[in-house]
Structure 1
Amino acid sequence: MEKIISYIKLSCAEIEKVIFPLKEQIRNAFITVFAVVAIVSLFLALVDVIMSFSVSKLI
C-alpha cells in the first residue's frame, strides 16, 4: 500500500512541474504544421503530375 501512495504522491509532484503551452503557442504550432503539410502536399502533387505525364508520353 505504501508503494501506491508513494507513486501517487510522486505523480502529483511531476504533474505540478509540467508547463502547459499557451493558447498562442498552440495556434502558432498548428499554423506551422498546417503550412508545412500544405507545401509538402503540393510538392508531391506536382511530382505526381510530372511523373504521370512522363510515363504517359513514354507509353
Structure 2
Amino acid sequence: MKVKKYYQESKDELAKVIFPTKDQIRIAFISVVIVVSVVTLFLALVDLFFHTTLSSIVS
C-alpha cells in the first residue's frame, strides 16, 4: 500500500507542475546566449588589456 500511496502522491504533485512554453524556453535560451557572449567579450577585453600592459612592462 505504501508504494501505491507514493505513486498517487507523486502523480498529484506532478500535476501541479507548470512546464514552460516553447516561447519561454526560446526567450530564456536567447537571453543565456546574449549574457554569455557579453561576459565572454568582457573577459577577452580584460585579458587583452592585461596582456598588453604586462608585455610592455616586461619588455
Common topology (TM > 0.5): yes
RMSD: 0.5
Q: Which residue of 1 aligns with 2:47?
A: 48
Could you list the runs of 4 or more consecutive aligned residues of structure 1 that deviate by over 4 angstroms after TM superposition? none
- CA distances 1:25-55 after superposition (whole Å, capped 9, x unpaired): 0000000010000000000000000000011
Query: Aligned partners of 1:6 and 1:32: how far apart in 2?
Result: 41
Q: Which amino acid aligns with 1:48?
A: D
Q: Which residue of 2 aligns with 1:39?
A: 38
State TM-score, norm by structure 2. Answer: 0.95
What is the SS of the residue equivalent to 2:53? helix
What is the SS of the residue equivalent to 1:40? helix
Where does structure 1 lack aligned partners over 5 or more consecutive residues? Answer: none
Q: Which residue of 1 aligns with 2:10?
A: 11
| C-alpha deviation, 1:3, in angstroms | 1.3
